[in-house]
Amino acid sequence: MGAPRIGVLAVQGDVREHVAVLTALGVEVVAVRRPEQVERIDGLVLPGGESTVMDKLVRAFGLQEPLRSAIRQGLPAFGSCAGMIMLADRISDGAPGQQTLGGLDITVRRNAFGRQVDSFETQLHFAGLDRPVHAVFIRAPWVEQVGDGVEVLATVGEGPAAGRIVAVRQGGLLATSFHPEVSTDRRIHAEFVKIVSSQG
Protein backbone atom coordinates (compact mmCIF):
# COMPACT_ATOMS: atom_id res chain seq x y z
CA MET A 1 0.00 0.00 0.00
CA GLY A 2 1.27 3.51 -0.85
CA ALA A 3 1.12 6.59 1.31
CA PRO A 4 -2.35 7.17 2.77
CA ARG A 5 -4.48 9.97 1.36
CA ILE A 6 -5.50 12.26 4.21
CA GLY A 7 -8.00 15.06 3.79
CA VAL A 8 -7.82 18.33 5.68
CA LEU A 9 -11.20 20.03 6.07
CA ALA A 10 -10.53 23.28 4.26
CA VAL A 11 -13.55 25.49 4.94
CA GLN A 12 -11.98 27.57 7.75
CA GLY A 13 -9.09 27.57 10.22
CA ASP A 14 -5.39 26.74 10.15
CA VAL A 15 -5.56 24.43 7.14
CA ARG A 16 -2.13 25.29 5.68
CA GLU A 17 -0.29 24.35 8.86
CA HIS A 18 -1.82 20.85 8.93
CA VAL A 19 -1.19 20.40 5.20
CA ALA A 20 2.48 21.35 5.69
CA VAL A 21 3.02 18.85 8.53
CA LEU A 22 1.27 16.00 6.71
CA THR A 23 3.16 16.72 3.49
CA ALA A 24 6.44 16.65 5.42
CA LEU A 25 5.43 13.21 6.73
CA GLY A 26 5.11 11.93 3.16
CA VAL A 27 1.33 11.79 3.08
CA GLU A 28 -0.83 12.58 0.06
CA VAL A 29 -2.97 15.51 1.22
CA VAL A 30 -6.37 16.61 -0.09
CA ALA A 31 -7.97 19.95 0.84
CA VAL A 32 -11.58 18.85 1.41
CA ARG A 33 -14.21 21.37 0.32
CA ARG A 34 -16.68 19.23 -1.64
CA PRO A 35 -18.81 16.22 -0.62
CA GLU A 36 -17.44 13.96 -3.37
CA GLN A 37 -13.90 14.35 -1.99
CA VAL A 38 -14.92 12.61 1.26
CA GLU A 39 -15.22 9.26 -0.53
CA ARG A 40 -11.63 9.46 -1.76
CA ILE A 41 -9.74 9.93 1.51
CA ASP A 42 -8.35 7.41 4.00
CA GLY A 43 -8.35 9.81 6.96
CA LEU A 44 -9.51 13.32 7.86
CA VAL A 45 -7.99 16.21 9.82
CA LEU A 46 -10.28 18.86 11.31
CA PRO A 47 -8.16 21.97 11.96
CA GLY A 48 -8.22 24.58 14.66
CA GLY A 49 -10.32 27.66 13.93
CA GLU A 50 -13.74 28.82 15.06
CA SER A 51 -16.07 25.88 15.70
CA THR A 52 -19.31 27.83 15.18
CA VAL A 53 -18.14 29.17 11.80
CA MET A 54 -16.80 25.75 10.81
CA ASP A 55 -20.15 24.15 11.65
CA LYS A 56 -22.07 26.69 9.51
CA LEU A 57 -19.69 26.31 6.55
CA VAL A 58 -19.70 22.51 6.71
CA ARG A 59 -23.49 22.66 6.40
CA ALA A 60 -23.39 25.33 3.68
CA PHE A 61 -20.92 23.26 1.62
CA GLY A 62 -23.10 20.14 1.91
CA LEU A 63 -20.36 18.37 3.87
CA GLN A 64 -22.08 17.67 7.17
CA GLU A 65 -23.89 14.44 6.28
CA PRO A 66 -21.09 12.93 4.14
CA LEU A 67 -18.58 13.60 6.94
CA ARG A 68 -20.87 12.32 9.69
CA SER A 69 -21.59 9.19 7.69
CA ALA A 70 -17.90 8.55 6.90
CA ILE A 71 -16.91 8.96 10.56
CA ARG A 72 -19.72 6.63 11.67
CA GLN A 73 -18.48 4.07 9.16
CA GLY A 74 -14.96 4.19 10.58
CA LEU A 75 -13.07 6.96 8.74
CA PRO A 76 -10.13 7.85 11.03
CA ALA A 77 -10.19 11.53 12.03
CA PHE A 78 -7.97 13.88 14.02
CA GLY A 79 -9.30 17.16 15.37
CA SER A 80 -7.20 19.92 16.96
CA CYS A 81 -8.85 22.66 19.08
CA ALA A 82 -12.02 23.56 17.11
CA GLY A 83 -11.58 20.20 15.39
CA MET A 84 -11.93 18.50 18.78
CA ILE A 85 -15.24 20.33 19.25
CA MET A 86 -16.39 19.20 15.80
CA LEU A 87 -15.68 15.55 16.69
CA ALA A 88 -17.34 15.70 20.12
CA ASP A 89 -20.76 14.16 20.62
CA ARG A 90 -21.67 16.87 23.16
CA ILE A 91 -20.80 20.54 23.81
CA SER A 92 -21.56 21.80 27.32
CA ASP A 93 -21.76 25.45 26.24
CA GLY A 94 -22.50 25.36 22.52
CA ALA A 95 -23.74 28.45 20.70
CA PRO A 96 -27.48 28.44 19.88
CA GLY A 97 -28.09 25.87 17.14
CA GLN A 98 -24.45 24.75 17.04
CA GLN A 99 -23.98 21.22 15.72
CA THR A 100 -21.02 18.84 15.53
CA LEU A 101 -20.04 15.92 13.34
CA GLY A 102 -19.75 13.72 16.41
CA GLY A 103 -18.13 10.34 16.78
CA LEU A 104 -16.16 10.92 19.99
CA ASP A 105 -18.07 10.01 23.15
CA ILE A 106 -16.95 13.16 24.98
CA THR A 107 -18.38 16.40 26.32
CA VAL A 108 -16.28 19.49 25.56
CA ARG A 109 -16.39 23.07 26.82
CA ARG A 110 -15.57 25.74 24.23
CA ASN A 111 -12.98 28.43 25.04
CA ALA A 112 -12.56 26.72 28.41
CA PHE A 113 -9.10 28.16 29.01
CA GLY A 114 -10.28 31.71 28.34
CA ARG A 115 -10.00 34.23 25.53
CA GLN A 116 -7.17 34.91 23.07
CA VAL A 117 -5.22 36.84 25.71
CA ASP A 118 -5.27 33.74 27.93
CA SER A 119 -3.46 31.63 25.32
CA PHE A 120 -0.45 29.76 26.69
CA GLU A 121 2.16 27.11 25.98
CA THR A 122 3.24 24.21 28.16
CA GLN A 123 4.93 20.81 28.14
CA LEU A 124 2.57 17.83 28.32
CA HIS A 125 3.13 14.16 28.95
CA PHE A 126 1.34 12.44 26.04
CA ALA A 127 0.56 8.72 26.36
CA GLY A 128 2.61 6.61 23.97
CA LEU A 129 5.23 9.27 23.23
CA ASP A 130 8.70 9.02 24.73
CA ARG A 131 9.14 12.66 25.69
CA PRO A 132 6.83 15.59 26.49
CA VAL A 133 4.91 17.45 23.80
CA HIS A 134 5.19 21.23 23.48
CA ALA A 135 1.51 22.22 23.48
CA VAL A 136 0.13 25.56 22.27
CA PHE A 137 -3.32 26.46 23.61
CA ILE A 138 -5.25 29.24 21.81
CA ARG A 139 -8.84 29.84 23.01
CA ALA A 140 -8.83 26.12 23.60
CA PRO A 141 -11.58 23.74 24.71
CA TRP A 142 -11.11 21.04 27.30
CA VAL A 143 -12.87 17.71 27.78
CA GLU A 144 -15.31 17.67 30.68
CA GLN A 145 -16.53 14.10 30.37
CA VAL A 146 -15.41 10.94 28.56
CA GLY A 147 -17.35 7.80 27.72
CA ASP A 148 -16.19 4.29 28.64
CA GLY A 149 -14.48 3.66 25.29
CA VAL A 150 -12.40 6.85 25.34
CA GLU A 151 -8.70 6.78 26.24
CA VAL A 152 -7.30 9.92 27.92
CA LEU A 153 -3.91 10.69 26.33
CA ALA A 154 -2.95 13.94 28.06
CA THR A 155 -4.00 16.24 30.89
CA VAL A 156 -2.70 19.66 31.89
CA GLY A 157 -0.05 19.19 34.55
CA GLU A 158 -0.05 22.48 36.43
CA GLY A 159 -1.70 25.86 36.88
CA PRO A 160 -5.38 26.66 37.46
CA ALA A 161 -6.49 24.06 34.89
CA ALA A 162 -4.32 21.22 36.26
CA GLY A 163 -5.88 17.83 35.64
CA ARG A 164 -8.07 18.98 32.76
CA ILE A 165 -8.23 16.51 29.85
CA VAL A 166 -6.71 17.90 26.66
CA ALA A 167 -6.13 14.86 24.41
CA VAL A 168 -8.23 11.75 23.80
CA ARG A 169 -8.54 8.78 21.47
CA GLN A 170 -11.47 6.50 20.71
CA GLY A 171 -10.66 3.87 18.09
CA GLY A 172 -9.63 5.70 14.92
CA LEU A 173 -10.60 9.12 16.31
CA LEU A 174 -7.96 11.35 17.90
CA ALA A 175 -8.43 14.86 19.31
CA THR A 176 -6.33 17.49 21.07
CA SER A 177 -7.35 20.77 22.72
CA PHE A 178 -4.05 22.26 21.60
CA HIS A 179 -2.48 22.94 18.19
CA PRO A 180 0.31 20.46 17.34
CA GLU A 181 0.29 21.87 13.80
CA VAL A 182 1.86 25.16 14.95
CA SER A 183 4.85 23.55 16.67
CA THR A 184 7.85 21.86 15.06
CA ASP A 185 6.95 18.55 16.75
CA ARG A 186 5.33 16.23 14.20
CA ARG A 187 4.86 13.23 16.47
CA ILE A 188 1.12 13.57 17.06
CA HIS A 189 0.47 13.86 13.33
CA ALA A 190 2.76 10.87 12.83
CA GLU A 191 0.65 8.92 15.33
CA PHE A 192 -2.46 9.81 13.35
CA VAL A 193 -0.81 8.70 10.10
CA LYS A 194 -0.09 5.35 11.82
CA ILE A 195 -3.75 5.06 12.81
CA VAL A 196 -4.84 5.74 9.22
CA SER A 197 -2.28 3.31 7.76
CA SER A 198 -3.26 0.55 10.18
CA GLN A 199 -6.90 0.82 9.10
CA GLY A 200 -6.10 0.86 5.39
Domain locations in the chain as residue ranges: 5-198
Q: What is the pLDDT of residue 3?
A: 85
End-to-end CA gap in the chain: 8
Contact 123, 132 (CB under 8 A): yes
Q: What is the pLDDT of residue 87?
A: 98
Average pLDDT over residues 7-36: 96
Q: What is the pLDDT of residue 159?
A: 72
Q: What is the pLDDT of residue 115?
A: 67
Which residues are the active-site residues?
Answer: 81, 179, 181
> By three-state DSSP, how is residue 175 classified?
strand
Q: What is the pLDDT of residue 118?
A: 64
- Comparing 103-107, 157-161, 195-199, the range with the smallest average pLDDT is 157-161
Average pLDDT over residues 48-62: 95
Q: What is the pLDDT of residue 60?
A: 97
Contact 91, 107 (CB under 8 A): yes
> By three-state DSSP, how is residue 36 classified?
helix
- The distance of Cα 149 from the centroid of its chain, to the nearest Å, equals 17
Average pLDDT over residues 161-167: 89
Contact 46, 86 (CB under 8 A): yes
**pLDDT tens, residue by residue, 22-31:** 999 999 999 9
Asked if pLDDT for residue 68 goes beyond 70, the answer is yes
Rounded to whole angstroms, the Cα distance separating 94 from 37 reads 28
**Arithmetic mean of pLDDT over the chain:** 93
Q: What is the pLDDT of residue 167?
A: 98
Asked if pLDDT for residue 117 goes beyond 60, the answer is no
Q: Which amino acid is at 49?
A: G
Q: Which amino acid is at 33?
A: R
Contact 77, 30 (CB under 8 A): no
Q: What is the pLDDT of residue 116?
A: 60
CATH level 3 topology of 5-198:
Rossmann fold (3.40.50)
Asked if pLDDT for residue 90 goes beyond 70, the answer is yes
The residues, any chain, with a CB within 8 Å of residue 34's CB and separated by 6 or more, are 61, 62, 63
**pLDDT tens, residue by residue, 37-50:** 999 999 999 999 99
Which contacts of 154-159 are long-range, i.e. CB under 8 A and separated by 24 or more positions?
154/124, 154/125, 154/126, 154/127, 155/124, 156/122, 156/124, 157/122, 157/123, 157/124, 157/125, 158/122, 159/120, 159/122
